[in-house]
A and B are shown apart, each in its own frame.
Chain A
Amino acid sequence: MTHLVWAQLFRKKTRTVLTLLSVIVAFLLFGLLQAVEVAFESAADAADARRLLTIARYSIIEPLPMAHGRAIARVPGVVAVASADWFGAKYQNESNAFPVFAVDPVRYLDMYPEFRVSPAHREAFTKTRTGAIAGQRLVDRYGWTVGQKLPIASEIHAKTDGSLNWEFDLVGTLDADDPAVRGNTDMVLINVAYFDEARQFGRGKTGWYIIRIDDPAQARTISAAIDRLFANSPDETKTQPEKEFAIGFAKQIGDIGALVTRILIAVFFTILILTGNTMAQAVRERIPELAVLKTLGFSDRAVTLLVLGEALLLLGLGAGVGMLGAVSVLPALNARTGGRFPPLFIDGATWLLAVSIAVGLALAIGLPPALRVGRLRIVDALAGHR
């Protein structure tokens, strides 16, 4: 029976191959676009439910006093506190080529156990005041080597001598195994002790706080307790779970998901028309043959399944090859955009969606002709044709 389905599908080779190629291209595009969407949303997936983020209440760009950190640490339920400040990097004359954060090495790296830093690099970063560690993807992109000087300008912070040109010692790298987390390592970390002392303005201030709590269920209560500490002070805060912040930030960019969905609807509608037409045509041409099959004793159901199987094979083959194509293209694409765009990958949900779209399309295009041939009366079918 499988042999028969296969034989039917490739009855007219050119037509089937061309249709198949269209389906492959559609699913290749599907895989790539879904990967883009997932990359945008992965920041939220990579979020840790035990982490909160505290920013200035009225705008993320307003700095917060470093003294806030000690007060936050005393709030019940808070396990650890780290801070980070936005450096405003300009590298090789490109604004915001990558983010640079001024952090306390130990507190910050402890806050993100999902980042992989070798003990030697961690030690060096902690001990070197002018030290910096960079994400592996950035290191690859710019061809840096550990041990070199890293000249980075700041668009915001001048040194005490008025110069905006800073220099750090690259003492290590950081990376992550999970592709969703890996995009978060596209950054350079510098030592806040050195940065705060060497900058002209803004001393004693930081950008935001990252807080580890012991019980995710208490996230709301603890957030409210932190914000209450600074209510009615000149530096009010807004604290929220890391995931909420990540989702909110992604929403600032816009609804990437809706854009991708609309494009994919256009793609699959086209595929529906294309394959639907091919199927209808292929079945129409074959009505006498199907009648012969029935004459030979194939049941109505068997003939229906035969046609449906053909549609499933067409879509399944196309979807499979297309998705595998997307999977094999992505590593090269990631290497090209490394450190500039989060890593693209195809997750289980995308595969599942691909399968359901393929089956859905196969049913939509295969069912009508399949049912028609199932009901076909042998005499009419044979009589209607030469």
Chain B
Amino acid sequence: MTALNQIVQITLLNLRTIPSRLGTSLVVVVGIAGVVGVLVSVLAMSEGFRHTLASTGRPARVIMLRAGSDSELSSGVARDQATLLASLPGLARDAAGRPLASAELNVMVDLPKRGQRDPNNVPFRGVQPAAFAIRDELRLVEGRPFARGVREVIVGRKASRQFEGLEVGSHIAFRDSEWVVVGIFTTGGDVHESEIWADAEVAMSAFRRTGFQSVTATLADASDAGLAALKQTIARDRRLSINVLRQPEYYARQANVLATLIDVLGYSVAIFMAVGAMFGALNCMYSAIASRQVEIATLRAIGFGGAPVVVSVLLEAMLLALVGGAVGGGLAWLYCDGASLSTLNFSTFSQVAFDFRVTRGLLLRGLAWALVIGAAGGLLPAIRAARLPVTAALRTA
């Protein structure tokens, strides 16, 4: 009999005895399901948050901020600077020859989350008409676009779901002004869906601002050379002290702090739980071989090797672990995937709404954890099983 055949035979024999040891086997499954469930659902949070920010913007678009500012909120671009920037030759133009550049106001307004009373920093963006040509992924799903020169807003779908009073037709009061929600838009789930948009000119007068926060534009030449040329033109102009970033670079940077924090939390908790689950698995496998020592000794007596015994015990532990991993991952997927929440992004000081994303990669990572825990919990008992002195084990029977 080959070693492989021996392994298969013993493993099958082991698995058939699981029903008589259901209690201890269940401990392995539940323990590991807990680890994987917590790991996958917490990481699904950072995954969703990263995805929301990373899917914002396109490489062919740039955001221009005051040099030294890393976020729109702390940036300032004066009106004359914004006009200068829009006229730069490095930017794309539409069919009518107008530059694809939108100088934008970014302020925060206080709105309560649905069913709560405490205010949240909801981003409010005043945009110029070109904003819609630049961000061509924007679609209105309800209502109509805001009219220019009037206090009307359109609201991102996620903001509309998270915050109170953002349905089409409702009135919201900011400053000494009242605004009407006229439409709901999507941008493919990116960060703009957490925002409220209005006409920049109207917003500036209502919020008593004289300058913008940023200019978003499409590059005429999206290559690195094109970007470098634009940066050079800006650097040469002494009236401008502006930093140019590709949109994905700007938004990805905003995800870093919070996503890393969530990752650290998820992994630290999972490591602790994994250690606990490993002790559970050790317990289970030790009692499994204790209850089976006669069988094992008999097998050894009729010529089965030590290695097949080790492998078979390991396989059993890993198989149980795999079941646990699948249960945990499945529960995380069932309960978390697609659930939305909104949190304060420390990097921008404003609310970002996002969905939990239980991706295939995360589920596989969960299963990998399960297998490692199973293997760690099975190894020592497996070795003990192989070392069992045959005669002594048979005599205890």
Contact = CB atoms under 8 A, between A and B. Distances in A.
Binding between chains A and B:
yes
Interface of A: 14-15, 18-19, 21-22, 25-26, 28-29, 32-33, 36, 58-62, 88, 90, 95-96, 153, 155-156, 162, 164, 232, 234, 236, 247-248, 251-254, 263, 266-267, 269-271, 273-274, 277-278, 280-281
Contacts of A62: 107, 207
Interface in B23-62: 23-24, 26-27, 30-31, 34, 37-38, 42
A324 to B, nearest CB: 16
Interface of B: 23-24, 26-27, 30-31, 34, 37-38, 42, 68-71, 73-76, 107-110, 113, 116, 118-121, 174-176, 207-208, 241, 265, 268-269, 272-273, 275-277, 279-280, 282-283, 286-287, 341-344, 346-347, 349, 351
Nearest to B24: A277
Given A14-B286, A60-B108, A266-B37, A29 B272 contact: yes
A156 B74 contact: yes
Contacts of A248: 118-119
Contacts, number: 139
Contact of B23 (A36, A232, A251, A281): A281
Nearest to A272: B30
B30 A252 contact: no
Nearest to A162: B241
Contacts of B71: 95, 155
Of B26, B30, B68, B273, most buried by chain A (CB within 10 Å of CB) is B68
Contacts of B76: 156
A281 B282 contact: no
Nearest to A95: B70
A59 B279 contact: no
Contacts of A254: 341-344
Chain A interface SS verdict (over half): helix
B121 A22 contact: no
Nearest to A248: B118
B34 A267 contact: yes
Nearest to B283: A18
A253 B275 contact: no
A273 B283 CA distance: 13
Contacts of B118: 247-248, 251-252
A164 B265 CA distance: 35
A273 B120 contact: no
A18 B121 contact: no
13 contacts: A15-B283, A15-B287, A22-B280, A29-B269, A29-B276, A36-B265, A61-B107, A95-B347, A155-B74, A156-B74, A248-B119, A267-B273, A277-B26
B280 A274 contact: yes
B287 A266 contact: no
A60 B346 contact: no
Nearest to B174: A58
A14 B207 CA distance: 69
A19 to B, nearest CB: 6
Contacts of A25: 272-273, 275-276, 279
A271 B347 CA distance: 38
Contacts of A59: 107-110, 121, 174
A153 B283 contact: no
A266 B34 contact: yes
A263 B31 contact: no
Contacts of B344: 252-254
